[in-house]
């Protein structure tokens, strides 16, 4: 579904990604793990058109999307849930969700998808008329994910969905990620909680200082002593 081939990305003169290559097959959960500042979020921003690569190709469903505008990429079926949630605080939960379907014209199907989001996240149904800025961190994460689902993505990019959440809420979010994947959405997950990420992923990549240094199945990475010591707390 997605093939990233040797992309270089810069912030001014600083190179953030160095010849990064990876593949995501349809139906999979693929995770990127690595320390803060390693380039994980930069990669997702590049895939969603917020940053442009200087070199390399990004093949999605057979076409090169490198450097295409963000709205074109959303239309093609890629949705991005950014780090820090980024919900529209002065709009209600339902208005935020409807905004996720902004590019769609199929009103009846939009209503059906709204019901589906409320099924996945019952808490959002309870809060649907509430201003998003008054929600807890976990509820805002649910809302950000729900809003992305409303665009009916084929590929969902998730950036640090568990950041700043209580352990119980982290469990809920990861269970939901698996549920979204089961409904047919392919997921590329950036996550600092490497244990949780590897427990639900099919494939995994480790990024260090802008380079992919290790890749393999999630099970292989979980079993690797090097990865255990560096990212899994030595367990």
233 vs 169 pLDDT, higher one:
169
Give the mean pLDDT of 42-65: 96
Q: Give the pLDDT band of residue 107 (cuts 50, 70, 90).
A: confident
> In this prediction, what percent of the chain has a pLDDT beyond 70?
98
Separation of alpha carbons 215 and 221, rounded Å: 8
Burial of 226 per CB tally in 10 Å (0-12, 13-18, 19+)? exposed
Kindly list the structural domains of the chain, giving each domain's residue range(s) and its CATH number in brackets, ordered by start: 2-89+152-231 (3.40.50.300)
Give the mean pLDDT of 145-167: 89
Position 127 scores a pLDDT of 92
Q: Give the pLDDT band of residue 235 (cuts 50, 70, 90).
A: very low
Instruction: Provide the token pair at 150.
Output: 């409303």
**How many C-alpha atoms does 33 have within 13 Å on its Cβ side?**
24
Q: Is the pTM of this model over 0.75?
A: yes
- Looking at the predicted structure, is the pLDDT value of residue 142 above 70? yes
Kindly report the three-state secondary structure assignment for every residue of 121-186.
Answer: CHHHHHCCCCEHHHCCHHHHHHHHHHHHHCCCCCEEEEECCCCCCCHHHHHHHHHHHHHHHHCCCE
């Amino acid at each position: 579904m997605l093939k990233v081939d040797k992309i270089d990305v810069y912030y001014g003169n600083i190179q953030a990604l160095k010849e990064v290559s990876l593949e995501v097959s349809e139906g999979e959960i693929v995770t990127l793990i690595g320390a803060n500042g390693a380039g994980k979020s930069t990669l997702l921003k590049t895939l969603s058109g917020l940053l442009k690569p200087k070199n390399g190709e990004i093949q999605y469903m057979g076409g090169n999307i490198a450097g295409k505008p963000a709205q074109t990429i959303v239309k093609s079926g890629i949705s991005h849930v950014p780090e820090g949630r980024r919900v529209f605080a002065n709009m209600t939960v339902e208005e935020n969700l409807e905004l996720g379907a902004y590019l769609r014209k199929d009103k009846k199907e939009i209503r059906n998808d709204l019901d589906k989001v409320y099924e996945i996240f019952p808490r959002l149904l309870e809060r649907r008329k509430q201003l998003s800025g008054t929600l807890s961190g976990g509820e805002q994460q649910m809302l950000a994910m729900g809003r992305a689902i409303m665009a009916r993505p084929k590929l969902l990019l998730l950036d640090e969905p568990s950041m700043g959440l209580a352990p119980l809420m982290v469990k809920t979010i990861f269970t939901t990620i698996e549920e979204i994947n089961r409904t047919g959405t392919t997921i590329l997950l950036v996550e600092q909680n490497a244990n949780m990420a590897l427990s639900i992923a099919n494939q995994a990549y480790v990024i260090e200082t802008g380079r992919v240094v290790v890749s393999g199945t999630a099970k292989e990475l979980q079993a690797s002593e090097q990865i255990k010591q560096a990212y899994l707390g030595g367990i």
